[in-house]
Structure 1
Amino acid sequence: MYDLAADRSNNMIDLATPSYRKASFALALGSFLIFCNLYLFQPLIPVMADQFSVSVLKANGLLAASTTGLALTLLPWAILSEKLGRYPVMMISLALVPLTGLGILLSNSLTVMIVARALLGVALAGFAAVAVAYMAEEFTQSALTMAIGTYISANSLGGISGRIFGGLVCEQWNWETAVAAMALFSLLCALIVYALLPRAVHFQQEPGFSVKKAIRNIAGHLQNPKLSLAVLIGGLNFALFVNLYTVTGLRLIAPPYSLPAGWTALIFLCYLSGTLSSRLSGHWRKQRTTTQGLLIGTFISMSGVWVASLQELTAVIIGLLLISSGAFFVHSLAYGWVSHHATRAKATATALYLVAYYLGGSLGGFLLIACWQKAAWHGVLVGSMTLYGLMYWMCFRLRKYDSTDQTPTMAAS
């Protein structure tokens, strides 16, 4: 008798195969590209404020626009992927990225540039929304765990590279050169991903799929406290993480440090500690519970804020390393929790997590920058400790569901 399940298993991408090497590299490269583009402007916020003679808070719209555009369109892309499949959505997304980059380059005002950055976020969202769902459908379980670990490491490396590239190129030449080079790099990467990534063979459209049903799935996920709490934890975690770097950059270009923007961009190398901790999260979950890890990761990140409060530059760097380690650890565990506990419409559930994640990144910037402008680092401490307190409360609420979590955590995005 024909065994459909066995045939499907035999056709899935497994570890130590040519298909796995090509697919995992292509997905990691796509991830790297997404985050290079998303954070290119973060170290340039003070530069753009001077360029357009506006406040740093208003210039922050260049970063907030891309993360907001990404956040608000993750779910539409995920819903579209339930209809068209994961592979076409990822390819469309990558094709749009260099085009929107050119739109940014041709912008003649801050408002137009902010709109162009928002459209870039929309383009980036397609790949980010469905890459993990593609992996879940096409990879064996053992290959999936390794591929997602590689994928999230590429996230962090892309974020580091985009920020450092933007800061150093702008310091040496100008922001236009940085944007043009990134658009060309995006085109090259998109072509490589198209050439290497295997077409999806296991995608099956959900029976009776409709937009109305997709909206019901979203509502169901939000009403499930197992998912909604983890989603909110992810949003608060990213609101703190990405914007603590922004205000640290503002702190370092001001007296008594007075570092140039290009050198300040090098603080993003501290992300590398997060690259390591995200990989360690899978090993943690084999021995301990997810919520224990969430509490410990939150504590490590919060401790980094207090260490960074010291005046010495070395303490600031150590603080950033702790912030990155804790934040990526929390992110990997929370995202893996959502992926595991979503019993249906997994692409929608993971996209919902990323919506909160990137909206947190957008809104948190306005909060922490306002705290910085109001009371310097003391204001940042008050604002960040408030958000950490909310995270702790949610982690403790999530603990009662931890006994139902029996599979290894998957790290992503």
Structure 2
Amino acid sequence: MIEFGTPQYKRVTLSLALGSFLVFCNLYLFQPMLPFMAGYFSVSETQVNWVFAASTLALSVALVPWAVGSETIGRRLVMLTGLLAMPIIGLLMLMSDSLLGLVLLRALMGIALAAFASVAVAYMVEELSSKAFSHAIGTYIAANSLGGISGRIAGGTLTDVLGWQQAVLIMACFTAVGAIVVFWLLPKQQHFKPQKGLLRYHNKALVSHLKNRTIWLAMLIGGVNFTLFVNLYSVMGFRLVAPPHQLPIGLASLIFLCYLAGTFSSTLTSVWSEHKDPVSGMLVGITISLLGMLVAYFDHLVWMTLGLLLISFGAFFTHTLAYAWVSQKAKRAKATATALYLVHYYIGGSLGGFFLIYCWQHGGWQAVIMGGSILYAVCYWLCFQLLTKNKLQATNSVIIHHNK
């Protein structure tokens, strides 16, 4: 196994962080453009949300098939296939002159993004020692947030200055170069064992993961957490370009710098996990995120920015702990388990947008707080269920060990 601090560890960490950065740049490129695209295609806020939701929804559907395929052909090949396909799909978007065509290509992009996202953590689990993994997962998810920040700011500012087609072209070129670097850096797997002809095995693994409440509850927490996080940002984008603020798209996209709070908080989770229970950490993250939504009620840029910082810090803290929990608690088919977590994660992100944007359209931020509060209540309930389940399992394990 690759140990923490070794040259191989640095290559794995750097290449997977860069790949993750590229994936999330492309995934979120269009999110700050939504207000502009609504005017460009003359559609409502809810309708234009399909440009963003199509990629996250397609990504969620493709995660498990890619993960299952990786059990046969290897994690590295799957990740590189997705990365190299991304710039090609980006260039095809430039040929689309309709909202439907763009939505379909964004869905295809989601499928390509899923290739990397579905198996990167499984690669780390199989190749890195336990200590190395606990540090690498924080770095990997920090790269997620940095990619999300960069993609959104690039999408907003480049659209403002050059137009959305030029923003897509520049991102495609950047992705092509980055994919080549990952291809060169990422080591071949040494501990991967191909499992051929085991489709039935993987189907059983999916069912077993869903039946394991210790794992499934963490997946649900990740899904609802992401529903709130990503779509509170989408709503804030519409809020900032509307009266009384009326900010240009490029300036409004700078709110995504608040993601840096999430980049920071995701790196703190390894320290938390070493000294305290991860589930209690999820509760802390949810509470901080809820506080952020409430602070953003005040219609001033300072309070709105502070609210987004708190939302980002809390959401990424919860996500990193839940993601690591699933990958470590799964006893078999780890790639399938982490992919299934991301299925919940991105389905929440894609479908939740329609709910919170609908709240915004019909009642402003007050309605968003009401709708969001329901989702936060669900998060709390799921965390307490997981806490109870985990304590019960720990007690039973002690009893069994004592009896032996």
Q: Residues of 2 paired with 1:194 and 1:117: CA distance?
A: 24
* Residues 222-231 or 287-296, more deviating: 287-296
Confirm whether residue 311 of structure 1 aligns to residue 299 of structure 2. yes
Is 1:63 the counterpart of 2:52 in the alignment? yes
Deviation at 1:14, TM superposition (A): 2.3
SS of the residue corresponding to residue 14 of structure 1 reads coil
- Kept in 2, the 8 Å contact 1:308–1:316? The answer is yes
Partner of 1:186: 175
Alignment of 1:148-227 (within 5 A): 148-206=137-195, 209-227=197-215
Shift >6 Å, 4+ stretches: none
Residue in 1 aligned with 2:400?
none
Paired position in structure 2 for 1:373: 361
The 2-side partners of 1:291 and 1:19 are apart by 31
TM-score, normalised by the number of residues in structure 2: 0.95
AA aligned opposite 1:27: L
SS at match of 2:191: coil
Q: How far apart are 1:215 and its partner, in Å? A: 1.1
Matched, 1:39 2:54: no
In the TM superposition, residue 405 of structure 1 has moved relative to its aligned partner by: 7.4
Whether the aligned pair in 1 keeps the contact of 2:283 and 2:383 (CA below 8 Å) is yes
Q: CA RMSD in A?
A: 1.3
Deviation sequence 1:194-230 (CA, Å, 0-9, x none): 0111111210124x75212211110111111111111
Asked if structure 2 preserves the Cα contact closer than 8 Å seen for 1:36 and 1:158, the reply is yes
Mapped to 1, the partners of 2:279 and 2:13 lie a distance apart of: 29
**Does the 8 Å contact 2:87/2:176 carry over to 1?**
yes
Q: Offset of 1:69 from its aligned partner?
A: 0.9
Counterpart residue identity of residue 389, structure 2: Y
1:281 is aligned to 2:264: no
2:329 is aligned with 1:341? yes
Secondary structure (helix, strand or coil) at the match of 1:66 reads helix
* Matches of 1:405 and 1:305, distance apart in 2: 35
Instruction: Report what 2:107 is aligned to.
Output: 118
What is the Cα deviation at residue 106 of structure 1? 1.2
The secondary structure found in structure 2 opposite 1:353 is: helix
Percent of residue pairs bearing the same amino acid type: 52
CA offsets per residue over residues 304-339 of structure 1, 9 Å max, x none?
001000122100000000000110011011111111
State the Cα distance separating 1:135 from its structure 2 match. Answer: 1.0
Pick the aligned partner of 2:2 from 10, 13, 18.
13
Q: Which of 71, 83, 91 in structure 2 is aligned with 1:94?
A: 83
Q: Is the 8 A contact 2:135 2:270 kept in 1?
A: no
Alignment match, 2:371: 383
Q: Secondary structure at the match of 1:106?
A: coil
AA aligned to 2:7 is: P
For 1:3, the equivalent position in structure 2 comes to none
Rounded Cα–Cα distance in structure 2 between residues aligned with 1:394 and 1:230: 8
Give the CA deviation at 1:141.
2.0
How far the C-alpha of 1:401 sits from its partner, in A, is 3.1
| Among candidates 251, 260, 276, match of residue 248 of structure 2 | 260
> Following TM superposition, by how much is the alpha carbon of 1:143 offset from its aligned partner in structure 2, in angstroms?
1.9
Give the structure-1-normalised TM-score. 0.93
Aligned 1:123-134 pairs, distance under 5 A: 123-134=112-123
Counterpart CA distance in 2 for 1:405 and 1:137 is: 25
Q: Which residue of 2 aligns with 1:231?
A: 219
- Alignment gaps of 5+ in structure 2: 396-404
Q: In 1, Cα distance between the equivalents of 2:394 and 2:46?
A: 41
> Contact conserved, 1:243 with 1:365, CA < 8 A, in 2?
yes
Asked if 2 retains the 8 angstrom alpha-carbon contact of 1:160 and 1:271, the reply is: yes
192 and 405 in structure 1: CA distance in 2 versus 1, 3 angstrom threshold: farther
Q: Deviations for 1:243-294, whole angstroms, at most 9, x for unmatched residues?
A: 0000011111111111111100000000000111111111112221122111
Task: Report what 1:143 is aligned to.
Answer: 132
Q: Aligned equivalents of 1:280 and 1:179: distance in 2?
A: 34
Q: 2:343 aligns with which of 355, 371, 378?
A: 355
Q: For 2:136 and 2:312, how far apart are their aligned partners in 1?
A: 21
Of residues 27, 30, 40 in structure 1, which corresponds to 2:16? 27
Distance in 2 (CA, whole Å) between partners of 1:349 and 1:75 is 9
The Cα shift of 1:237 comes to: 0.2
Give the CA deviation at 1:340: 1.6
Q: SS state of the match for residue 247, structure 2?
A: coil
Deviations 1:367-402 (A, max 9, x none): 000000011111101110010111111111111233
Matching residue of 1:109: 98
Distance 1:299 1:217, change over 3 A: same
Greater CA deviation, 16-25 or 192-201?
16-25
**Alignment pair present for 1:328 and 2:322:** no
* 1:299 corresponding residue in structure 2: 287
Q: Is the 8 A contact 1:289 1:402 kept in 2?
A: no
Would the aligned equivalents of 1:24 and 1:150 in 2 still touch at CA under 8 Å? yes
- Shift, 1:47, TM fit: 0.7
Q: C-alpha displacement at 1:15, in angstroms?
A: 2.6
Please say which of residues 395-404 and 362-371 is displaced more in the overlay: 395-404
Q: Is the 8 A contact 1:290 1:402 kept in 2?
A: no
Most deviating of 279-288 and 318-327? 279-288
CA distance in 1, matches of 2:5, 2:367: 51
Query: Mean alpha-carbon deviation: is it higher for 295-304 or for 142-151?
Result: 142-151
In 1, Cα distance between equivalents of 2:177 and 2:260: 25
Q: Which amino acid aligns with 1:290?
A: P
Question: In 1, Cα distance between the equivalents of 2:13 and 2:309?
Answer: 27
Deviations 1:167-204, CA, capped at 9 Å, x for gaps: 00011110001000000111101100001111112101
